[in-house]
Amino acid sequence: MSLKINEKTENPLFKRKEILIEAQVKGAIPKKEELKKEIASLLGCTEDTIIIKRINSKFGENKITANLHQYETPEALKETEEIKKRKKEKKK
């Protein structure tokens, strides 16, 4: 997978950078965790400071775009973002 940064905007109010990345992929679209590892190595930061907001792709193309936020610290991320985890409902 090859990554390229298309747009990078500094947002000092929220202590983050808003980034648009384009990636060439082979085969299936990677999972968020795999994409997060690749982006962290490209940006030179840790995975716990990155939130991927959206992954876009078009049918039949091997190119994806991803919108993400890179925070200065994990604490800044926790202050700003609401991390939702799906809770499985118990069947009766």
What string of H, E and C letters represents the secondary structure of 18-76?
EEEEEEECCCCCCCHHHHHHHHHHHHCCCHHHEEEEEEEECCCCCEEEEEEEEECCHHH
The total of structural domains in the chain comes to 1
Instruction: Assess whether pLDDT exceeds 60 at residue 49.
Output: yes
Domain-located, residue 17: yes
pTM for the structure as a whole: 0.78
pLDDT in tens, 16-46: 999 999 999 888 888 889 999 999 999 899 9
- CATH number for the domain that contains residue 31: 3.30.70.330
Domain-located, residue 92: no
Domain-located, residue 14: yes
